[in-house]
Amino acid sequence: MVNLVLSLLAAAWVFVWGIGVWVICKHFLTVDIPAAIGHPMKLRVLDCLFLMTVTWGSIFEKLGICSWPRFVRFVHDLLPLRKEPDLVVSDLRFGTVPVRLYRPRAASPRRRTGVVFIHGGGGVVGSLNTHHGICCHLSKESDSVVLAIGYRKLPEYKFPFPLRDCLVATVHFLKSLNTYGVDPARVVICGDSVGGTAAAVICQKLLNSPDLPKIRAHILIYAALQSLTFQLPSYHQNRKVPLLSRNFDFYCWHLYLGINPSWKSTIMKGAHLPAKVWAKYGKWVGSENIPERFKKRGYQQMPPEPLNEDAYLETSIILDVKNSPLIAEDDVISQLPEACIVSCEYDLLRDHSLLYKKRLEDLKVPVTWYHMEDGFHGVLNTIDMDFLYFPCSTRIMNVVVKFLKGL
């Protein structure tokens, strides 16, 4: 009996060790770390840790225990939360939507700016806990009331449920500003990654809501703003850069929209949309709108291949502005509030920010733009990670705080 137990323990140890070796090998075989990113070993460690949790999650999924996204979120929620004595942090529910409210403890002679914060994670990972440190910094350093929204996620909840949760919580907050000491003339919507998608969409949705306070500004941090094309320069240049590879981005994209992944090759070649669609929206999403300096790391524009009608029938949902806020009509974009846009050079979604910035500027919407030359997707989350901290995260926080203070 003792020998059996020892054998099982030895087998388990070999299995665990083997998983670790496999993760490290996969990382070095599939990942590209640009030389310009400071502290490349930190980024390698971050990517390996994420890949490790995804791998174990996939094992549990195959065993029928839980989906891998649920496992990854479970692990993330085990991380200790930042303690901030200068803030009052409250976990609440707006209807059925969990939210977390951050308020400076000190009294204020006037009503504060209110920030609705929608976290990223591709709709798959991320939670109120993973972005807790970010919200603490945001509230404390800008002296703002921050509302973080814990929307439902994949794979259980696809479009439009996550967006609907964000909209419901935002409207509830806007109707309760007096309760939280927020100035109705200074309410800002902020989001990172897919949270930036929701922030842009909500700004558009609330433009003609006379019974609600007007949104003062929106802040988009390496946001996803269009779903039409995977052919932009940043998709080629940064396709293997952590923490958002092109493969993981496509996984989140197809799962969120309920599109069969077998269309991946067709979509990557641009054969999923007809010529009339490219003609209509190409003026906004075409790579010719990207400044030449962002193409220097290598890019060759490829024309879309002939249309696959079946692919178009299944993927036409991407033309919904709730999935691609960048392609809203001029009369909508021109009414949007002032924007603060943060982009990162080594981010798969970098060109989304550049295209959105151009659309706003062309329609005379005020834009404050910051570009992080050494930044990568998800870097802001390292702001409280001690030895895995990247200075770029503090620079992003500083520019966002500066923007909020200037409103």
Each residue of 221-235: pLDDT tens digit?
999 999 999 999 999
Please return the burial class of 146, using the count of CB atoms within 10 Å of its CB with bins 0-12, 13-18 and 19+: buried
Both 50 and 100 in one domain: the answer is: no
Cα 335 versus chain centre, distance: 24
Q: Taking all residues of the chain, what is their mean pLDDT, rounded to a whole number? A: 94
Q: Is the pLDDT of residue 8 over 70?
A: no
347 among known catalytic residues: yes
Both 305 and 351 in one domain: the answer is: yes
- Distance between CA 264 and CA 251 in Å, rounded? 9
Both 97 and 58 in one domain: the answer is: no
Structure confidence at residue 10 (pLDDT): 60
Residue after which a domain boundary falls, among 42, 76, 110: 76
Each residue of 309-365: pLDDT tens digit?
999 999 999 999 999 999 999 999 999 999 999 999 999 999 999 999 999 999 999
Both 224 and 348 in one domain: the answer is: yes
Structure confidence at residue 11 (pLDDT): 60
Decide: 55 and 23 in contact? Cβ < 8 Å: yes
Q: Is the pLDDT of residue 61 over 60?
A: yes
Q: From residue 328, give the alpha-carbon distance in Å to each of 31, 223, 334, 356.
A: 35, 16, 10, 11
Q: Is the pLDDT of residue 109 over 70?
A: yes
Both 8 and 88 in one domain: the answer is: no
Q: Where residue 250 sits, what CATH number does that domain have? A: 3.40.50.1820
Both 200 and 305 in one domain: the answer is: yes
Where does the pLDDT of residue 5 fall: very low under 50, low under 70, confident under 90, or very high at 90 and above?
A: low
211 among known catalytic residues: no
Both 198 and 118 in one domain: the answer is: yes
In terms of residue numbers, what domain contains 10?
2-76
- Distance between CA 91 and CA 101 in Å, rounded? 6
Please name every residue paired with 188 in a beta bridge, in sequence order, or none if there are none: 115, 217
Residue after which a domain boundary falls, among 52, 76, 100: 76
Please tell me which residue in 139, 142, 193, 227 is annotated as part of the active site. 193
Both 39 and 180 in one domain: the answer is: no
| Nearest Cα residue to 252 out of 378, 122, 61 | 122
Q: How many domains does the chain have?
A: 2
Both 193 and 320 in one domain: the answer is: yes
Both 299 and 405 in one domain: the answer is: yes
Q: Is the pTM of this model over 0.75?
A: yes
330 among known catalytic residues: no
Each residue of 243-263: pLDDT tens digit?
999 999 999 999 999 999 999
Quick check: helix, strand or coil at residue 110? coil
Residue after which a domain boundary falls, among 24, 48, 76: 76
Each residue of 206-220: pLDDT tens digit?
998 999 999 999 999
The pairs formed by 394-402 with CB atoms below 8 angstroms and a separation of 24 or more are: 396/221, 396/342, 396/370, 396/372, 397/134, 397/137, 397/138, 397/141, 399/340, 399/342, 399/370, 400/138, 400/142, 400/190, 400/219, 400/221, 400/340, 400/342, 401/137, 401/138, 401/141, 401/142
Please tell me which residue in 137, 218, 236, 377 is annotated as part of the active site. 377
Both 183 and 297 in one domain: the answer is: yes
Both 178 and 241 in one domain: the answer is: yes
DSSP per-residue codes, 249-295 = HHHHHHHHHT--GGGHHHHHTTTTS-HHHHHHHHHHHSGGGS-GGGG
Please tell me which residue in 347, 351, 353, 393 is annotated as part of the active site. 347
List of residues 6+ apart from 395 with CB closer than 8 A: 372
Q: Name the more confident of 304 and 235.
A: 235
